[in-house]
Chain A
Amino acid sequence: EADIYQTPRYLVIGTGKKITLECSQTMGHDKMYWYQQDPGMELHLIHYSYGVNSTEKGDLSSESTVSRIRTEHFPLTLESARPSHTSQYLCATGVRYEQYFGPGTRLTVT
């Protein structure tokens, strides 16, 4: 299994602020993913990466952006947070046919 860390675990922030959600992994997996989990609990893929300098948008349109400068890190940034961004954000890594998830960041935008 992969060790995946997400910080912060909980964040309450005002509208218009810029935020970065951190995701890091220690297993050297090339594939990484960001999912948004809405109040109905369904997960939607918003970004993924094959490896360093590779990023792609997922199935659900998102105003967030991601970067992959190092294998271990896959941060997600919101330039200007809005209440509609309130959600749980889950990071995952992939190896072969398996995906492993971090503990998530619960974001509340007031």
Chain B
Amino acid sequence: GEDVEQSLFLSVREGDSSVINCTYTDSSSTYLYWYKQEPGAGLQLLTYIFSNMDMKQDQRLTVLLNKKDKHLSLRIADTQTGDSAIYFCAESPVGSGNTGKLIFGQGTTLQVKP
């Protein structure tokens, strides 16, 4: 079945790079996503990558996709205290058809220490 797994917690120092990892099971997923959730707020779409791409960079964010291992990562360069949040990985399984349904991981809490 469809499943998305993430580590639950990551702690880094301000200025370091953060790498948040995710594994997924549906190799036919067309798009893979990273969302950010700050306390008391909804989810903010950070970036997404099409399954035929290996890498996507957007300012401080770099997404790497290893389709063979079904592994997705989000690297945040020069991590700031404002990056502290929960980060969700999500996949859009091909079986979702036209619904646009997403399958989410359980979220990784990123703690940035000053």
B-binding residues in A (CB < 8 A): 1, 4, 6, 31, 33, 40-43, 45, 48, 50, 56, 58-59, 90, 92, 94, 97-104, 106
Contacts and interface: CB of A to CB of B under 8 A. Distances in A.
Given A45-B101, A48-B101, A94-B100, A101 B30 contact: no
Ranked 4 nearest A-B pairs via Cβ: A101-B42, A94-B100, A101-B43, A43-B104
Contacts of A4: 42
B102 interface: yes
Nearest to A98: B45
A98 B48 CA distance: 8
Contacts of A101: 35, 42-45
Nearest to B106: A42
Given A97-B31, A97-B48, A102 B42 contact: yes
Contact of B106 (A33, A40, A99, A100): A40
Interface in B97-112: 98-102, 104-107
B105 A42 contact: yes
A9 B71 CA distance: 35
A22 to B, nearest CB: 14
A97 B100 contact: yes
Contacts of A56: 99
Interface of B: 30-31, 33, 35, 37, 40-45, 48, 86, 88, 92, 98-102, 104-107
A48 B99 contact: yes
- Chain A CB within 10 A, most for which of B33, B35, B100: B100
A90 B43 contact: yes
Contact of A100 (B45, B92, B99, B101): B45
Contacts of B40: 103-104, 106
A97 B30 contact: yes
Contacts of B31: 97
A100 to B, nearest CB: 6
Contacts of B48: 97-98
